[in-house]
Structure 1
Amino acid sequence: MRKIKTIDDITKDGKVEFGEGYEFVSTAEEADAILMRSTDLHGYELPEGIRAIARCGAGVNNIPVEEYAKKGVVVFNSPGANSNAVKELVLGMLVLSSRGVVQSMNWVRDNADDPEIQADAEKAKKAFVGRELKGKRIGVIGLGNVGSKVANACVDLGMDVYGYDPFISVEHAWVLSREV
């Protein structure tokens, strides 16, 4: 039986299931492995029995990999696990910033008590028209799990996409739109 300690909320409901052969424990001292997301483990006193640390997400900058490797602890992550969610956030920010959505929301809040808000909104809305993304030029630096998805989505939006990644993998090159 392998014993796992979760440090962060890994799922929305807090439940993680691995199936037979695994047991979740309440302290790291009784665990064989740690399953975590974004807690900073620099300076963390790692118990003797830990043999593996799995990060749910990309990157391991919050884990002292070299220090743990010297202790025989394997550290790994799950790149790409949240790449679609990050892509959607990037696209949301592109739309918000190009269309003046935040500014228009602030205008409504600032003028909420105005009895003439409907008439004033008709006059003010021209200030929040913004620009369409279609036909605009964008550069995507890094074409890995997230960057390749962002670049492809921007192509789908009709944008002129320039990508740069001197270390692009064959896998990501194959999924990248030829329009990039």
Structure 2
Amino acid sequence: MKIVADENLAFTDYFFAQFGEIQQVAGRNLTQHDVVDAEALLVRSVTKVNAALINKTALKFVGSATIGTDHLDISALEQQGIAWSNAAGCNAQAVAEYVITALLHLEPTVLDANQKFTLGIIGLGNVGSRLATMAQLLGWNVIGYDPFVQRDHVQQVELEELLAQADAISTHVPLTKTGAHPTYHLINSEAFATMKPSAILINSARGSVVEEAALIADIQSTGRKVVLDVFEHEPEISETLLNLITLVTPHIAGYSLEGKARGTQMIYEAFCKTFSFQSDKAFETQLPVGEQYFAQHDLKQTLKVYLHQIYDIARDDANLRTCLKDGKVDQKAFDYLRKTYPLRREWAAHGGPAA
């Protein structure tokens, strides 16, 4: 069979080469012509899988190696009888570690703050609940908001209470515009007014969860420290916004080697189920052994000594800032950063904990 795959998927050949011809493409520029005679399509979040893309094609399966589904027109897929799958939770550990790394980079002293430091987590799905566990391992006070789930290990509060109490706020929600609890512009001028001016905001979920105009106004007013891995108008990022944000990264919070490999394995398993193939491959067999930093010290001491070696987040910030051209981030340069990103290893590869 013919399989069309985003060129940035990890271990595509290992998982899929046995099933037929793999055509690797740039996911952001994918067209109906690319998939017209393909039976399977493997994508990431940069590809909008809609009726225009899938109409009058041979597609029987679409797999997205991502945790989100807002780039998939599920009703169009189901109307045409095309099986689909995403990879919910594949990079949850990587994102949780990203958030903690960003916080320790901005405020190293919080590593020893214990219960005096309150982390507020908006969204307690795969990522949010895992982040809560990791933060609790560091001794932090954790509060969470999620109207859809109840987590026994997290003290859950209303959104307004979380915004008012937290010393740092991290968003982990899908992008939704309808229903009782839409997340589009969830963090707006009213939310900023409720937050402490000293509270750090981290968005590694979806760009439009934070209203960009309100964010700019808030930073100009309060000087708030903000970490953005996603942007409302991504990949269009203005120089004005970039200069105001304390720490920026090019949508790579989940870009660990384990997370990428896990995502491909999850859609491989769904692919095999769809076509009645046996699934007998595991990504762990393909990974090199990591440097065992955590074997030498306890968790906090290891992070104090080796955090920069485990993940140099400042490098990602610097690399994105070099992409400015004519008042905004150059889209080709942005995509190139993501395409050539040197996948970092999760803490467990270095002997550390996994939630």
TM category, shorter: 0.5 to 0.7
Matched residue, 2:107: 98
Question: Would you say 1:25 and 2:22 are equivalent positions?
Answer: yes
Does the Cα contact within 8 Å between 1:8 and 1:38 map onto a contact in 2? no
Partners of 2:154 and 2:86 lie apart in 1 by 29
Residues 70 and 179 of structure 1: CA distance in aligned 2, closer, same or farther (over 3 Å): closer
* TM value normalised by structure 2: 0.36
Does the Cα contact within 8 Å between 1:58 and 1:80 map onto a contact in 2? yes
Aligned pair count reads: 142
Cα deviation for residue 19 of structure 1 reads 6.9
Partners of 1:5 and 1:42 lie apart in 2 by 13
Letter matched to residue 15 of structure 2: E
Letter matched to residue 96 of structure 2: K
User: C-alpha deviations, 1:114-148, integer Å up to 9, x for none?
Assistant: xxxxxxxxxxxxxxxx5544230111121111001
Question: Percent same amino acid at aligned positions?
Answer: 25
Partners of 1:160 and 1:142 lie apart in 2 by 16
Partners of 2:136 and 2:96 lie apart in 1 by 13
Tell me which moved more, 54-63 or 43-52: 43-52
Structure number with higher helix proportion: 2
Question: Would you say 1:66 and 2:75 are equivalent positions?
Answer: yes
Residues 178 and 143 of structure 1: CA distance in aligned 2, closer, same or farther (over 3 Å): closer
Does the Cα contact within 8 Å between 2:122 and 2:146 map onto a contact in 1? yes
| Unpaired runs of at least 5, structure 1 | 100-129
Larger Rg: 1
Matched residue, 1:45: 53
Does the Cα contact within 8 Å between 1:155 and 1:179 map onto a contact in 2? no
* TM value normalised by structure 1: 0.67
Give the 3-state SS of the residue equivalent to 1:30 in structure 2.
coil
Partners of 2:90 and 2:48 lie apart in 1 by 21
Does the Cα contact within 8 Å between 1:151 and 1:161 map onto a contact in 2? yes
Give the 3-state SS of the residue equivalent to 2:93 in structure 1.
helix
Partners of 2:119 and 2:22 lie apart in 1 by 47
User: C-alpha deviations, 1:45-79, integer Å up to 9, x for none?
Assistant: 32510011110011111122222222222222010
Matched residue, 2:250: none
Residues 95 and 67 of structure 1: CA distance in aligned 2, closer, same or farther (over 3 Å): same
Letter matched to residue 165 of structure 1: D
Tell me which moved more, 31-40 or 86-95: 31-40
